Amino acid sequence: MSFATEKAAPLMDEGRDPGTAAFLLRTISVVAVLAILSLAAWWAGRSGLVSLLTIYAAKTNQVAAADAALRLSPNDPDAHFVRGAILESKSVAAAVEEYKQAVCKRPEDYVLWLDLARAQEFNGDVAGAIAAASQGVRLAPFYAKPHWLLGNIFVRAGRNDEGFRELRLAGASDDALLAAIIDLEWELSGGDADFVRRAVDPKSPESYKALANYFKKRNKVTDAIEMLRAAGPAAEQERRQYLQELISAQTIKEAALLWSIDHPASMVDQLIDPGFEHESNLDEPGFGWRRENKAGSLSLSLDQKDPNEGRFSLRVDFNGDSETGTPIISQFILVTPGAHYRFHFVARTESIVSGALPYVAVADVANHVILGRISPFPQMRTDWQEYLIDFKSGEKSSAVQVLLRREACGQSSCPIFGHLWLDNFSIEKL
Amino acid sequence: MRSSIVTTRPNLISVTIVLLLLIFLVIELQTGTFFASREVSSSPEIRQQSIMAVLTVAGNQSISVNSAKAIDGATILSGATIVTPNQVNARVGLGLLATLDIAPNTTVKPEFDQNRAIKVTLMQGCVILRTDKGIAGEVVTSGGSVRKTNSNEGGPLEVCFPQGAWPGLRIEQDKGVGLFYFARLAALGVIGGRLRTNMAVGLDDRGSNPGPSSP
């Protein structure tokens, strides 16, 4: 027992030191952790409080809140920014100083640079504004807004070449800005389409289309067509739509120019597919044969049986009611104003029954006046017969329309039945 | 006698040449031929606009100027037709001369000239025109009514057509506060973006250089 006691004592003494050391170590560790946690809590709390004060300042327009935020965190760029925003209502110069502080604290933020540029320009420091916006451009070279702001500042400073260069970059980055850029250049140039085209310097289909849309709006038809031509296949839909608009507006000469982008050029005094030898889309606007009357009772087809010339003739089947005023089929022809023409074609009929018989006429596109026509087609069966229409084009008209239509009908319903074949159209200038 | 003639004649010729050169230079400098010729060849004719206004639109919102989308920082020329969509305010600033606050759903055409005169034609909606002292400002509505600012005092002139109240979030009428409204909205956008970013990824990457794929 005593042995054990004697032996145990040193053992206990030896064990006390390590225990104390461990205790001390644990205590120090705990204190250190607590200190770190306290510091972290303080840091997080302070950051949160600074953010809270900053947002509060921004929402309530209280500069005191922004000041409090800056007392807690003098290097907080957001607090400087908000303080600048609040001061801007009273002193733009003071606001500029705060914005400068903000960009100093966070110099890699292009948004802060842009706001500094905006305030500096408002404060009359154009050079400073350009420098700040240029820094924004350097930080975010692929964003549209820095180029946009710098370009506009350049333009307002009278440095148009530099301004348009930056605006081009903005438009290349964001197509949605192109229209505004084009409009600005249009207004500054006093409506000079050539200048606008050079200033925009289009490179993509989108920029060509934006220019075309703008020129359309400004009634610069030829310029719009050139832009739609340059846009290539990407603008096929736009060309088709514009073609329809030009034809509706009876600007046929310009429509022909647009048509020639996607089709063989429509020549003066010439018909397209005069013998109905090729399949075509009759609903497509333009200078080929067009079906305007959409009545289901009318059927149009290329008939291989017994054509007058070539492989096909056009067969028209009448199977009921259809509107008499709307042409069944028609084609625009470019002509020389004030010239005498002879129009020739052949037709045959079979069992046509109607109170409003069909006929072929030539009309002036500008005023819809009938320049010449044939008598209504006979009702009985006939073989191919030749028809001639002599007419003089209008003095100011550059296009006529050949059309197959029906006589006017005095009744609300005027059905027609039977068959008609047309072939071998031609036009001759006398 | 002869020798004096011989010596004075070259002097006279020299003086005449120098005078002619001077006259030529003065004329050329006044017409600006020397300085302008290179610019004209490289840069097309541009209509000189002495006054250009700045458009302010909060955040990433946009409005319509002459039927084209316009964002913050756009240049507004005299006679431009401005249309604000629903819930979007805008401001047209003419430096320290005047500001025009435009309410949502408003169609307006501001015109300004070098005679320090500002005419605002209001087709629809609400505007507040503030002018500096000595600036003549007037708001004409499509209904024919005309209201003018007091050029001695400046001060805000609020007009709605048809008659009504300012829609949506109102811009305060106190001078200068309206401007703050836009800056404040911008500030909230900046801070909001940063806080959202911080919460999401713990880093503020707004200032990094954006790539070409994400303009």
Cα A183 to Cα A179: distance, rounded to the nearest angstrom: 6
B58 residue type, one letter = A
**Mean of pLDDT values over B160-166:** 78
- For residue A381, the model assigns a pLDDT of 86
- For residue A285, the model assigns a pLDDT of 83
* Residue A234: DSSP 8-state: G
Chain B residues whose CB is inside 8 A of the A160 CB are 43, 46
Identify the weakest region by mean pLDDT among A137-141, A238-242, B55-59, B98-102: B55-59
B42/A contact by beta carbon, under 8 A: yes
Identify the weakest region by mean pLDDT among A295-309, B44-58, B193-207: B193-207
pLDDT band at A157 (very low <50, low <70, confident <90, very high): very high
pLDDT band at B172 (very low <50, low <70, confident <90, very high): very low
Identify the residue with better confidence: A16 or A115: A115
pLDDT band at B109 (very low <50, low <70, confident <90, very high): very high
- Nearest beta carbon to residue A61 from set B80, B95, B180: B180
Check pLDDT > 90 for residue B104. Answer: yes
Instruction: Tokens for B30, please give them.
Output: 């006044």
How far is CA A22 from each of CA A18, A34, A93, A201, rounded to the nearest angstrom? 6, 18, 62, 78
Check pLDDT > 80 for residue A39. Answer: yes
Check pLDDT > 50 for residue A5. Answer: no
Contacts of A212 (CB under 8 A, 6+ apart): A224, A225, A227, A228, A231, A235, A238, A242
Contacts of A333 (CB under 8 A, 6+ apart): A269, A270, A271, A399, A400, A401, A402, A427
pLDDT band at A335 (very low <50, low <70, confident <90, very high): very high
Check pLDDT > 70 for residue B7. Answer: no
Point out which residues pair with A298 in neighbouring strands.
Answer: A318
Contacts of B24 (CB under 8 A, 6+ apart): none
For residue A12, how far is the Cα from the chain centroid? 90
- For residue B143, the model assigns a pLDDT of 82
Cα A91 to Cα A80: distance, rounded to the nearest angstrom: 15
- For residue B204, the model assigns a pLDDT of 35
- For residue A178, the model assigns a pLDDT of 94
The helix (run of H) or strand (run of E) holding residue A58 is: helix A2-60
How far is CA A321 from each of CA A137, A295, A411, B214, rounded to the nearest angstrom? 67, 8, 12, 58
pLDDT band at A3 (very low <50, low <70, confident <90, very high): very low
Residue-wise burial string across A249-278, b where 16 or more C-beta atoms lie within 10 A, e elsewhere: ebbbbbbbbbbbbbeeebeeeebbebbbee
Using CA of residue A31, residue A32, residue A35, residue A37, what is the dihedral sign? negative
Instruction: Tokens for A141, please give them.
Output: 């070279």
Residue with tokens 């054990």: A4
**Mean of pLDDT values over A396-419:** 89
A400/B contact by beta carbon, under 8 A: no
pLDDT tens by residue, A24-38: 888 999 999 999 998
pLDDT tens by residue, A343-355: 999 999 999 999 8
B134/A contact by beta carbon, under 8 A: no
CA distance B131 to chain A (A): 15
ipTM for this prediction = 0.71
- For residue B97, the model assigns a pLDDT of 83
Cα A28 to Cα A311: distance, rounded to the nearest angstrom: 106
A115/B contact by beta carbon, under 8 A: yes
* High-pLDDT (> 90) share of chain A, %: 66
Check pLDDT > 80 for residue A206. Answer: yes
Check pLDDT > 70 for residue A105. Answer: yes
- For residue B208, the model assigns a pLDDT of 37
Residue with tokens 């109240």: B165
Q: Nearest-CA neighbor of A333 among A414, A238, A398, A236?
A: A398
For residue A377, how far is the Cα from the chain centroid? 49
**At what angle are helices A193-200 and A221-230 packed, to 10 degrees?**
30
pLDDT band at B151 (very low <50, low <70, confident <90, very high): low
- For residue B24, the model assigns a pLDDT of 52
- For residue A323, the model assigns a pLDDT of 87
Judge: B47–A188 Cβ closer than 8 Å, yes or no.
yes
pLDDT tens by residue, A54-85: 888 888 888 899 999 999 999 999 999 999 98
Chain B residues whose CB is inside 8 A of the A149 CB are 72-73
Whole-number mean pLDDT of chain B?
70
Identify the weakest region by mean pLDDT among A132-141, A204-213, A275-284, B117-126: A275-284
CA distance A114 to chain B (A): 10
pLDDT tens by residue, A365-405: 888 899 999 999 998 888 999 999 999 999 888 899 999 99
- For residue B175, the model assigns a pLDDT of 38
CB A203 within 8 A of CB A172: yes
Check pLDDT > 50 for residue B200. Answer: no
- For residue B27, the model assigns a pLDDT of 45
Contacts of A217 (CB under 8 A, 6+ apart): B67
* High-pLDDT (> 90) share of chain B, %: 30
* Residue A374: DSSP 8-state: P
Judge: B75–A184 Cβ closer than 8 Å, yes or no.
yes
- For residue B154, the model assigns a pLDDT of 65
Judge: B179–A184 Cβ closer than 8 Å, yes or no.
no
Identify the weakest region by mean pLDDT among A288-297, A402-411, B43-52, B117-126: B43-52
pLDDT band at A21 (very low <50, low <70, confident <90, very high): confident
Check pLDDT > 60 for residue B182. Answer: no
B202/A contact by beta carbon, under 8 A: no
Cα A275 to Cα B26: distance, rounded to the nearest angstrom: 74
CB B65 within 8 A of CB B80: yes
**Mean of pLDDT values over B210-214:** 46
Chain B residues whose CB is inside 8 A of the A216 CB are none
* High-pLDDT (> 70) share of chain B, %: 53
A188/B contact by beta carbon, under 8 A: yes
- For residue A250, the model assigns a pLDDT of 84
- For residue A103, the model assigns a pLDDT of 95
pLDDT tens by residue, B29-79: 443 333 333 333 334 455 555 689 999 998 789 999 999 999 999 999 999
A261 residue type, one letter = I
